[in-house]
């Protein structure tokens, strides 16, 4: 037990099973023990064992549907073979594992457009009721699951659970009244219009899941633990419409008024614990909170529901702050925390917290770039689930491919550019035994990420910068600030890594030399102030985040975007983009799409001149300021200078945005590749 966090590291019982601490590693897509064909994923072993060494109390693998590979219970060879062997290894570390079983996506199924929408394929598109709109393509309607199908699912849950028990798995988590999946669609009145015994009253709407709980207990014994994944409130304003934190709204899904009775029904049926948060696919940012969601965003609702049940209640949703967890555990407000993506970023974060090394914890910045790209949902027929990688930690789910070893030949290496890519290179190369000098032309390490981390909702981004600076200091990396390295400065080094990043793209339009026109990076770093009304040119991620930042400060932003829609960013997770769209709706931020900047004007005061698809039609947008957020171009002049000076081109390595503008994930992964290779 930790002296710093005695409650966090104290044991807790779920039914007959005792966990060594109060920390669950959450189920996440991409951490599934079996794929869509029902086959064991051997790569998952190293991922889990690395986190078992990291002191996880209870593992919950990503959801596996009872219909996986036909009926999952027909895959005994997978469970009684490699999965059973993995259980023995996990148990050797004192950890436990509950297998998460689901009844399908229902209307949240991520379907290819076209073929799957055809009538002949509709038989597989089920929900609680006829006519339910698909989340991703509302034109696709789902049919009601039949009573015979329901009973087959209940039977399958019992058989799958018994197979899990025989494989040494410690318990079952039912992916049930959670996130708008099939069982949740039965539980919510807005999506359950049935008139049989599975519709109508609260008890009837919960009949499907309570029959599953009772069937598992009947099949496996009353002492075999069953935990239920539970969304306390749906946070829905309607189909494909979610509520924001603090917003006044009328609940379309499960309300806080109904939730206590719902939770009691689950416990009365035999549930031994609740693994709780909020949200649905219509309000995805509650169940998968991006950076725009506050820390421990689901805690108030989860703490509330604990008052109505007598079983352990765990809270999920940005709960990785050990100090906060300790405080609420000590107060008895919850019984434990469920943490997912922080374990992707740093498998040892729990041990570091226990040992008082919080500054060494690489923070999850809730970006979703690696763990939950785009929709984050696998498509049937593509060989299984996508793997849950991490933007900050390429080792995640590549544990055997990224083993850090000492360099065979120790070299003197110059890293030019103290942004995230340069700092990552300096860190890894030093750990491998090279002698590294990091050159940074400004007075602070961080590069363009300093600007990216500037908004007050980017507290974890700021923590990441602190983490890098702390790691370099601990490693005694030679850092030269206020030094713009040139060819002469690096001529005596064995290798030169050019990590000089990118610079804002320059537009050649009339009026952009006006002092009221500001580059995005100038605004974010506080180098230039803006007025009350601000037109933002560029509706990409940075432009929309700036609009949010301005709105939070009480200003009046407007967004101008050349494309037919905003947020057309490759790999952007739907949880992030959908929440940003709701933010635009909530703050009534005007958005002008298919509209280009034409310049500025002083007609009637400072105005931004824009034009639509018909270039001859211009309009004026009155403003106090204009922020340019039109992207970046690589800055790699040093590499050209080195080549011109006769430096061996094989020893010049351009990485990150200096080579091609990407994102944090691409920059860090490139830093790993070059640092492991040299």
DSSP assignment string, 355-376: TT-GGGPPPP----TTTS-TT-
Which of 384-388, 460-464, 674-678 has the lowest average pLDDT?
384-388
Residue 664 has which token pair? 């944090």
Active site residue 93: no
Per-residue pLDDT, 116 = 47
Nearest CA to 220 out of 274, 174, 265 is that of 174
Per-residue pLDDT, 289 = 97
In the predicted structure, residue 513 carries a pLDDT above the cut 70: yes
In the predicted structure, residue 376 carries a pLDDT above the cut 50: no
pLDDT mean over 425-446: 98
pTM (2 d.p.): 0.95
Alpha-carbon distance 338 to 298, whole Å?
11
- 137: Cβ–Cβ under 8 A, 6 or more apart, which residues? 111, 113, 117
Per-residue pLDDT, 377 = 45
Per-residue pLDDT, 3 = 83
| Residue 295: how many other CB atoms lie within 10 Å | 15
Catalytic residue among 73, 181, 230, 292: 181
Alpha-carbon distance 338 to 326, whole Å?
13
Residue 515 has which token pair? 């002092």
Per-residue pLDDT, 122 = 59
Tell the residue number behind the tokens 């919850």, with chain if given: 334
Alpha-carbon distance 54 to 326, whole Å?
18
Per-residue pLDDT, 68 = 87
- 497: Cβ–Cβ under 8 A, 6 or more apart, which residues? 413, 414, 415, 416, 422, 425, 653, 655, 674
Which of 146-155, 579-588, 627-636 has the lowest average pLDDT?
627-636
In the predicted structure, residue 280 carries a pLDDT above the cut 70: yes
**Pairing status of strand 241-242 against strand 236-238:** antiparallel
Which letter does DSSP use for residue 137 in this model? -
Per-residue pLDDT, 119 = 46
In the predicted structure, residue 135 carries a pLDDT above the cut 60: yes
Residue 280 has which token pair? 């649905």
Whether the CB-CB separation of 425 and 659 falls below 8 Å is answered with no
Which letter does DSSP use for residue 229 in this model? E
Nearest CA to 372 out of 257, 281, 239, 499 is that of 281
- Please spell the DSSP secondary structure of 388-411, one letter per residue: ---SS-TTTT-TTT------SS--
> Residue 533 forms beta bridges with which residues?
556
More confident residue, 296 or 383: 296
**Pairing status of strand 336-339 against strand 23-25:** parallel
**Pairing status of strand 58-59 against strand 17-19:** unpaired
Nearest CA to 441 out of 501, 492, 491 is that of 501
Is the Cα dihedral 38, 42, 45, 46 positive or negative? negative
Q: Using pLDDT thresholds of 50, 70 and 90, give the confidence band for residue 2.
A: low
Alpha-carbon distance 119 to 338, whole Å?
41
Alpha-carbon distance 282 to 579, whole Å?
10
Which of 153-157, 381-385, 578-582, 616-620 has the lowest average pLDDT?
381-385
Name the burial class of residue 400, with classes exposed (0-12), middle (13-18) and buried (19+) by CB atoms within 10 angstroms of its CB. Answer: exposed
Q: Using pLDDT thresholds of 50, 70 and 90, give the confidence band for residue 613.
A: confident
Per-residue pLDDT, 522 = 96
| Residue 49: how many other CB atoms lie within 10 Å | 18
pLDDT mean over 428-437: 98
Nearest CA to 579 out of 243, 155, 186 is that of 243
For the chain, percent of residues with pLDDT exceeding 70:
96
Q: Domain residues of the chain, as ranges?
A: 20-360, 412-504+634-677, 517-630
What is the Cα Rg of the chain in Å? 27
Q: Using pLDDT thresholds of 50, 70 and 90, give the confidence band for residue 112.
A: low
Q: Return the ∠ at Cα 149 (arms to 148 and 155), rounded to 5°.
A: 90
Q: Using pLDDT thresholds of 50, 70 and 90, give the confidence band for residue 576.
A: very high
Name the burial class of residue 506, with classes exposed (0-12), middle (13-18) and buried (19+) by CB atoms within 10 angstroms of its CB. Answer: exposed
In the predicted structure, residue 193 carries a pLDDT above the cut 50: yes
Q: Using pLDDT thresholds of 50, 70 and 90, give the confidence band for residue 570.
A: confident
Alpha-carbon distance 469 to 463, whole Å?
10
Which of 198-207, 364-373, 467-476 has the lowest average pLDDT?
364-373
Whether the CB-CB separation of 8 and 16 falls below 8 Å is answered with no
In the predicted structure, residue 36 carries a pLDDT above the cut 90: no
Which of 228-237, 243-252, 616-625 has the lowest average pLDDT?
616-625
Phi, psi of 414, deg, nearest 5: -100, 125
pLDDT mean over 360-385: 69
Which of 68-72, 474-478, 551-555 has the lowest average pLDDT?
68-72
Helical H segments across 516-663, by residue range: 520-524, 541-552, 574-586, 637-644
Alpha-carbon distance 211 to 270, whole Å?
10
Whether the CB-CB separation of 59 and 100 falls below 8 Å is answered with no
Whether the CB-CB separation of 575 and 544 falls below 8 Å is answered with no
Average per-residue pLDDT in the chain? Answer: 93
CA distances from 659 to 36, 496, 552, 670 (A): 37, 14, 35, 10
Name the burial class of residue 290, with classes exposed (0-12), middle (13-18) and buried (19+) by CB atoms within 10 angstroms of its CB. Answer: buried
Nearest CA to 93 out of 133, 137, 127, 56 is that of 56
Whether the CB-CB separation of 275 and 314 falls below 8 Å is answered with yes
Alpha-carbon distance 527 to 512, whole Å?
17
In the predicted structure, residue 642 carries a pLDDT above the cut 80: yes
Q: Using pLDDT thresholds of 50, 70 and 90, give the confidence band for residue 566.
A: very high
Q: Which helix (H) or strand (E) holds 414?
A: strand 412-416
Listed as own residue / partner, the contacts of 284-287 with beta carbons closer than 8 Å and 24 or more positions apart are: 284/179, 284/242, 284/574, 284/575, 284/578, 284/579, 285/242, 285/575, 285/576, 285/578, 285/579, 285/582, 286/231, 286/235, 286/242, 286/317, 287/178, 287/179, 287/231, 287/317, 287/575
Alpha-carbon distance 500 to 636, whole Å?
6
Per-residue pLDDT, 388 = 79
Helical H segments across 499-620, by residue range: 520-524, 541-552, 574-586
pLDDT one-digit tens code per residue, 345-370: 999 999 999 999 999 999 999 999 98
Alpha-carbon distance 462 to 479, whole Å?
20
More confident residue, 237 or 117: 237
Helix (H, G, I), strand (E, B) or coil at 671: helix
For the chain, percent of residues with pLDDT exceeding 90:
85
pLDDT mean over 45-68: 95
Fold of 517-630: FAD/NAD(P)-binding domain (3.50.50)
Judge if 20-360 and 517-630 fold alike in CATH terms: no
**Pairing status of strand 533-537 against strand 556-560:** parallel
Q: Return the ∠ at Cα 213 (arms to 208 and 214), rounded to 5°.
A: 100
CATH architecture assigned to 412-504+634-677:
3-Layer(aba) Sandwich (3.40)
Which letter does DSSP use for residue 83 in this model? I
Please count the residues of the chain: 678
Per-residue pLDDT, 39 = 87
pLDDT mean over 255-266: 98
Which letter does DSSP use for residue 645 in this model? T
> Residue 593 forms beta bridges with which residues?
none
CA 304 to chain centre: 25
In the predicted structure, residue 117 carries a pLDDT above the cut 50: no
For domain 20-360, say whether CATH 3.30.390.10 is its number: no
Buried b (16+ CB within 10 A) or exposed e, 605-629: ebbbbbbeeeeeeeebbebbbbbbb
């Amino acid at each position: 037990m930790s002296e710093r966090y005695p409650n966090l590291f104290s044991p807790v019982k779920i039914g007959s099973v005792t966990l060594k601490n109060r920390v669950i590693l959450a189920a996440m897509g991409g951490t599934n023990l079996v794929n869509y064909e029902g086959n064991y994923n051997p790569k998952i072993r190293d991922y889990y064992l690395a986190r078992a060494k990291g002191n996880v109390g209870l593992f919950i693998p990503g959801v596996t549907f009872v219909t996986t590979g036909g009926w999952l219970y027909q895959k005994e060879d997978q469970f009684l073979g490699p999965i059973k062997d993995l259980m023995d290894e996990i148990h050797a570390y004192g950890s436990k594992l509950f297998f998460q079983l689901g009844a399908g996506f229902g209307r949240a199924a991520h379907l290819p457009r076209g073929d799957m929408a055809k009538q002949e394929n509709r038989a597989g598109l089920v929900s609680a009721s006829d006519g339910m709109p698909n989340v991703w393509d509302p034109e696709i309607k789902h049919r009601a699951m039949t009573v015979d199908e329901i009973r087959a699912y209940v039977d399958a849950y019992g058989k799958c659970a018994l197979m899990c028990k025989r494989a040494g798995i410690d318990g079952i988590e039912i992916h049930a009244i959670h996130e708008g999946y099939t069982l949740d669609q039965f539980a919510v009145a807005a999506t359950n219009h049935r008139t049989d015994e599975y519709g109508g009253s609260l008890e009837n709407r919960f009949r499907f899941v309570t029959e599953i709980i009772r069937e598992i207990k009947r099949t496996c014994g009353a002492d075999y633990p069953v935990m239920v994944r539970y969304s306390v409130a749906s946070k829905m304003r309607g189909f494909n419409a979610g509520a924001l934190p603090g917003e006044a709204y009328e609940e379309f899904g499960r309300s806080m008024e109904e939730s206590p009775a719902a939770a009691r029904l689950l416990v009365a049926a035999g549930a031994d614990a609740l693994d709780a948060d909020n949200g649905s696919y219509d309000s995805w940012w509650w169940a998968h909170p991006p950076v725009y969601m506050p820390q421990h965003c689901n805690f108030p609702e989860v703490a509330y529901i604990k008052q109505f049940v007598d079983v352990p209640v765990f809270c999920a949703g940005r709960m990785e702050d050990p100090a906060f967890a300790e405080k609420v555990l000590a107060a008895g407000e919850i019984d434990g925390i469920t943490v997912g993506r922080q374990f992707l970023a740093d498998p040892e974060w729990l041990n570091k917290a226990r040992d008082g090394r919080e500054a060494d914890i690489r923070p999850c910045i809730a970006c979703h770039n690696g763990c939950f790209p785009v929709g984050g949902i696998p498509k049937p027929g593509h060989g299984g689930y996508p793997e849950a990688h991490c933007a900050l930690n390429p080792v995640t789910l590549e544990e055997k491919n990224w083993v850090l070893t000492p360099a065979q030949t120790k070299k003197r290496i110059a890293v030019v550019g103290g942004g995230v890519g340069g700092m990552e290179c300096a860190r890894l190369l030093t750990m491998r035994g090279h002698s590294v000098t990091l050159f940074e032309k400004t007075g602070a390490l961080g590069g363009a990420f300093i600007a990216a981390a500037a908004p007050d909702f980017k507290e974890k981004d700021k923590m990441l910068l602190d983490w890098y600076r702390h790691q370099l200091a601990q490693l005694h990396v030679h850092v030269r600030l206020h030094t713009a390295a040139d060819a002469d400065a690096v001529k005596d080094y064995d290798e030169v890594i050019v990590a000089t990043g990118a610079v804002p793209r320059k537009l050649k339009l009339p009026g952009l030399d006006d002092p009221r026109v500001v580059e995005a990076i100038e605004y974010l770093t506080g180098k230039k102030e803006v007025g009350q009304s601000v037109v933002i040119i560029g509706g990409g991620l940075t432009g929309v985040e700036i609009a949010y930042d301005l709105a939070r400060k009480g200003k009046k932003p407007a967004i101008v975007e050349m494309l037919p829609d905003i947020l057309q960013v490759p790999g952007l997770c739907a949880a992030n983009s959908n929440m940003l769209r709701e933010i635009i709706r909530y703050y009534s931020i005007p958005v002008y799409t298919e509209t280009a900047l034409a310049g500025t004007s002083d007609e009637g005061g400072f105005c931004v001149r824009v034009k639509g698809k018909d270039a001859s039609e211009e309009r004026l947008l009155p403003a106090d300021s204009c922020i340019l957020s039109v992207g970046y171009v690589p800055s790699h002049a040093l590499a050209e200078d080195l080549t011109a000076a006769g430096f061996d081109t094989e020893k010049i390595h351009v990485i990150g945005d200096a080579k091609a503008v990407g994102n944090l994930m691409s920059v860090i992964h490139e830093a790993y590749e070059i640092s492991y290779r040299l």
